[in-house]
A and B are shown apart, each in its own frame.
Chain A
Amino acid sequence: MAGLEEAIGELERDREFLAQVTRWQRIPAREGTFEPFPQSLDPRLAGILSRRGITRLYSHQAECFRSVAQGNNTVVVTPTASGKTLCYNLPVLQALLREPEARALYLFPTKALAQDQQSELNETVLAGEVGIHIATYDGDTPGSVRVAARDGGRIIISNPDMLHAGILPNHPKWIKFMSSLRFVVIDEIHMYRGVFGSHMTNLIRRLKRIVRFYGSNPCFICCSATIGNPLELAKRVLEEDAVLVDRNGAPSGEKHVVFYNPPLVDRVQGIRRGVVLESRKLAARLLTRGVKTIVFSRSRVRTELIASYINESLASVFTDNHRIRVESYRGGYLPNERRAIEQGLRSGAIQGVVSTNALELGIDIGGLDASVLAGFPGSISSSWQQAGRAGRRSAVSLAILIASSSPLDQYMVTHPDYFFSRSPESAWVDPDNPYILADHLKCAAFELPVKEGERLGGPVDGVLALLEESGVVRRTEGAFYWSERSYPAEQVSLRSASSENVVIIDETKGRNAVIGEMDRPSAKELLFDGAVYLHRGAQFMVKKLDLENRRCMVEESEVNYYTDAIVKTDIKVLQKDGEVERLGIRVLSGDVLVRSQVAKFKKLKFHTHENVGYGEIALPEEQMHTRSVVLELGEDTPGGAAFALLPAPAREEVVADIGTLVKNVAPLFLLCSSSDIGVSERLRDPLLGVPALYVYDRYPGGTGLSEGFLDRIEPIMGAVRDLVSACACEDGCPSCIGPAARDSGPVEGRKKTVLGFLAAWLGAARDG
């Protein structure tokens, strides 16, 4: 990597660049640890590997092989480029070669990205040569292929949604597969956190129940990215013991991690150069020096913008730079477009790519030299995963984080120690959440009558009695039978977002060609009539968004601006179930309607990003009917009285800080992920007339998190107070009350104010 070493050297001598660098961390190279092929390895597999130039294994691959051979459920932590697929493919193929009837199920978290990719890989790399039938089984699998996959597939590649709604409810069609299932591989298990993870655990419970019916007892192999608690998470998802393999034997080269804060353009207002232009400049600089670069951007529009800006910078005909190929990559492209880009990256035909987090994990794009993070990705583990995309085996690599002007980014870039000393986030699940459990119990009863006293994770007779009362199951002669005409899995979604997509159709000159797709809520924000839609360097104007028929007609355009919708969200209480006095305040619980409306959009000029006009959007609002609790700080309660004693100018900040704290702390108590709950603060709620804090479920219909919040309000608020008083930061950081917002001006003593209020409130509650 002469190019990269040169580029790094150049940056190290560049004063202007260095002036903006807040940390240049060098992570030393590490030698690989290798082991010879295991003695027992089937000679056919050994042969295939040697033909591919693999003559030994990384120590973690060998360890994983041994562990599985001993029949252990195994969790292997696999950073990027550590040979993940061999960790599970070797032990699985070994067993499948020895036992001609044995079968395996591979589960990948998403259909679109990781999985079809993996199937291709598995097929061509390994199994094709040993004659093991591998079949993908997901929503896109044509009916004609399904029967062959079910009956003949030795390895079935699928996803949780398909297992949930397609495979398990039809298990008798899978009798051959289920009765000889030996392995279940769960890739990217760290994705199964919070509500999604709680669904996954219940799905595994259902799978185990069905395979038991057919007399099999599979071994689980899980792969996890680096998170705080991989073994704990796997044990909770599997509800079985497991062995952890986390000593990575893959070598890695020296890694430079650079934190870069763009220069101020307006010292008075604290405005800095934007992430888009800065990342374009840096990426172009690297690319022209022959450095293969990936840029991670935080939104689809930015991905498109950065890619086309980079291409414009490289377009000069006087140099050879226009030969450098840079592509954008995100969800919503056609599968063959995505495949072509991935292929181009692997083969080296494409030197640069700008991507959303779609390329963070899972997809094989070969090794890149440098990774540019255009904005902090939101979590420590994502940051490391994105940085990890750069780095091939033993070569030097570079990762640059470019901070945006958001408070969180500014905190990270100005407190690099915070970033480098924190371990990656942990993942939690709560499979016994009654909403989720009841949903899966319905599905389980549909799949096989549930005997009285039978357990699903734990005892479930109580939940079954409720289901019986509502008439969906019938208890008769010691068992609960599904007694509804419906197909319950269809009504239970494992994810919060609907999978409904809008198809984008290019009608330029009567072309009528599908060029991409987009999920419905995003379509409202990005594909409204008059929006500029950017797609791999091409520019289109939206003529008509037809939500009813899930189509969007676009036409090629050549305007000098792009568009950005302004989204307004509000919450309305629909039905109040109850109001209780707890902890010295009033807490309302009930149904709420969370509405988000795009009513206007901005036209932003390319390159300068200055606002050149507005437009109106006429689209129905996006609605989510869900469950919420509302913490009311009315003056007639001790907590509210304490709030009223705060100086008026501080009140808004304090409500917001309490909101941030709750968002940081509640997930630990509710065993959810912070994206599962919504928190919204009001200095004066228009309906209730008092300061209020909404904590709501971000799943349509609710998932019981807000009820859980009310149950645990005392320990949660206690932990909130302890967190602020114990936090070592100066005056607010992302772990406690959040960094100070730039536009709030220099507020001194934020922590002291919040702490004072919490002490007064909780003290009054204790005394009262």
Chain B
Amino acid sequence: MADRLGARLEWIRPRSREEAPPRAETPRRPSGIEGFRPVGDHLFLREETLASPLAGLALPLVLPGLAPGEEASRLVFLDTETTGLSGGAGSTAFLVGIARADGERLVVKQLFLEDFPGERELVERLERELSERDVLVTFNGKAFDVPLLRTRFIMNGRRFPEARQLDLLYASRRLWKALIGPCSLRSIEERVLGIERSGDVPSFLVPEIYLDFLRTGDPSGLRTVFAHHRQDIVSLARLLAHMEGIAAAAARGSAPSGRFDREALGRLLVERGVESGVAFLERAASSGDSRAARTASLIHKRRGSYDRALAIWRELWERSESLFGGIELAKYYEHAARQPAEALKIVERLCLAPGRLASMGEEERAGLLARKARLERKTRRSD
């Protein structure tokens, strides 16, 4: 405990000084915060215009599901830094970042709460900045940032503008979890986007740095927090652009570059109503991705396109005697084509394959054996 506290203090204390500054009786108000300008009694704003990572992408974008005719400028990248990570009415957002794409440019705004009483100003400012017609793009915002802001609005007697949300965490997990493991924004930056941060402050230390600033009035420790927060927002935009690039290429029929889970992307596209997602899955299937093959065939089956599904199952079955392909074929012969004898042949081959039954899960095995018994009954009857 004491060790942990010591380590934490090391972090908080500005590196340049040997001693922490003595606690002032009344913490002095900072006369200014580097890079920020005051926009209220306790509210500071930093504004920056960058080249938009979204520039050059075809509209409408695939992933956020913008309605036709909606502008990419409806996308708001949102991220907060807070006084506590456990949520609840006593955790405040002291730094809120919003970035909006405007053609070639990305306008990044960081709103900094210099002391608690300024929260009303912060909330009112956000109310002006955000609209219910926006799409809030976040990383884990559905569970964290948005509920927290909603709470802050209520605490100040206001209503949060309930915009649509695109939480990139979920799509990221689908695209990359199998490849890189747990998906944090940090790990995706490193392993997918190729962004390297140096001198970054770990997220769990952020609350302590801010509270320390409130106690001492010394903003120098915050510099790393501001930089960290700015990078988070920029990374959000870059991540969306990256995902969108892959999605758009896949939708166009070309091969997207980089590492990602092809089956997951195909499914994502189909869920968004992008029809060419099916073709993408099929292309992946024919290049040997059996998960993609499986997903494509099930989409066809659901839609009643048995011919296309059958083609995939046959391919799977003939190429590798795949269990999935075999069972789907057997189902098809038994129920749709009413050829139990054909179905039984396949099931028998599945049961005979050395080691196959043993390697199956209990439920799966029981299902297969039940199917076999039923088919045997049916074929005897039809003899």
Contacts and interface: CB of A to CB of B under 8 A. Distances in A.
Interface in A473-506: 474, 476-477, 479, 481-490
A476 B88 contact: no
Contact of B90 (A169, A173, A476): A169
A449 B116 contact: yes
Given A445-B90, A471-B215, A485-B211, A172 B150 contact: yes
B289 interface: no
Contacts of A477: 115, 117
A481 B87 contact: no
B341 to A, nearest CB: 41
Given A446-B89, A481-B116, A484-B84, A175 B214 contact: no
Contacts of A448: 89, 155
A145 B150 CA distance: 20
Nearest to B151: A172
Contacts of A490: 86
B58 interface: no
A447 interface: yes
A173 B211 contact: no
Chain A: interface size category: 20 to 34
Interface string B210-229: 01001100000000000000
Contact of B83 (A171, A479, A483): A483
B90 A474 contact: no
A482 B150 contact: no
Contacts of B150: 172
Given A172-B155, A476-B117, A485 B83 contact: yes
A486 B86 contact: yes
Given A175-B154, A449-B116, A476-B115, A170 B211 contact: no
Contacts of A482: 90
Interface in B198-254: 207-208, 211, 214-215
B155 A479 contact: no
Contacts of B115: 476-477
Given A474-B214, A479-B117, A485-B211, A447 B90 contact: yes
Given A448-B155, A476-B117, A485 B89 contact: no
A697 to B, nearest CB: 23
Interface of B: 83-91, 115-117, 147, 150-151, 154-155, 207-208, 211, 214-215
Nearest to A444: B90
Contacts of B91: 485
A169 B83 contact: no
Contacts of B147: 173
Given A483-B211, A483-B214, A169 B116 contact: no
Nearest to A170: B88
Contacts of B116: 449, 474, 476, 479, 481, 483
A485 B88 contact: no
Contacts of A447: 89-90
Contact of A169 (B88, B154, B207): B88
Contacts of A486: 84, 86
Contacts of A171: 89
Given A172-B155, A175-B154, A474-B116, A487 B211 contact: no
Given A173-B147, A485-B83, 4 more contacts: A173-B151, A445-B90, A474-B215, A487-B90
Contacts of A474: 116, 214-215
Given A169-B88, A170-B87, A484 B154 contact: no
A172 B154 contact: yes
Nearest to B87: A170
Interface string A205-230: 00000000000000000000000000
Nearest to A484: B211
Contacts of B208: 485
Contacts of A488: 90
Between A172, A175, A447, A479, the greatest number of chain B beta carbons within 10 A of the residue's beta carbon is seen for A172
21 contacts: A169-B89, A170-B87, A170-B89, A170-B151, A172-B155, A173-B151, A447-B90, A448-B89, A448-B155, A474-B116, A474-B215, A476-B115, A476-B117, A479-B117, A481-B116, A484-B211, A485-B83, A485-B86, A485-B91, A487-B84, A487-B86
A489 B154 CA distance: 21
Interface string A561-588: 0000000000000000000000000000
Between A447, A477, A483, the greatest number of chain B beta carbons within 10 A of the residue's beta carbon is seen for A483
Interface string A349-360: 000000000000
A454 to B, nearest CB: 16
Contacts of B86: 485-487, 490
Contacts of B211: 483-485
A172 B146 CA distance: 13
Nearest to B207: A485
A484 B116 CA distance: 12
Interface in A383-407: none
A173 B207 CA distance: 23
B93 to A, nearest CB: 13
A317 B89 CA distance: 65
A486 B207 CA distance: 10
A28 to B, nearest CB: 56
A448 B90 CA distance: 7
Contacts of A170: 87-89, 151
Contacts of A484: 84, 211
Interface string A155-199: 000000000000001111101000000000000000000000000
A476 to B, nearest CB: 6
Interface in A614-639: none
Between A173, A175, A482, A485, the greatest number of chain B beta carbons within 10 A of the residue's beta carbon is seen for A485
A623 B207 CA distance: 33
Contacts of B87: 170, 487
A485 B117 contact: no
Contacts of A483: 83, 116, 211, 214-215
A485 B116 CA distance: 14
Give the 8 A-B CB pairs with smallest separation, nearest first: A446-B90, A485-B207, A172-B154, A482-B90, A172-B151, A169-B88, A481-B116, A487-B86
Between B90, B207, B214, the greatest number of chain A beta carbons within 10 A of the residue's beta carbon is seen for B90
Contacts of B117: 476-477, 479
A407 to B, nearest CB: 45
A485 B84 contact: yes
Interface in A422-469: 445-449
A486 B208 CA distance: 10
Contacts of A449: 116
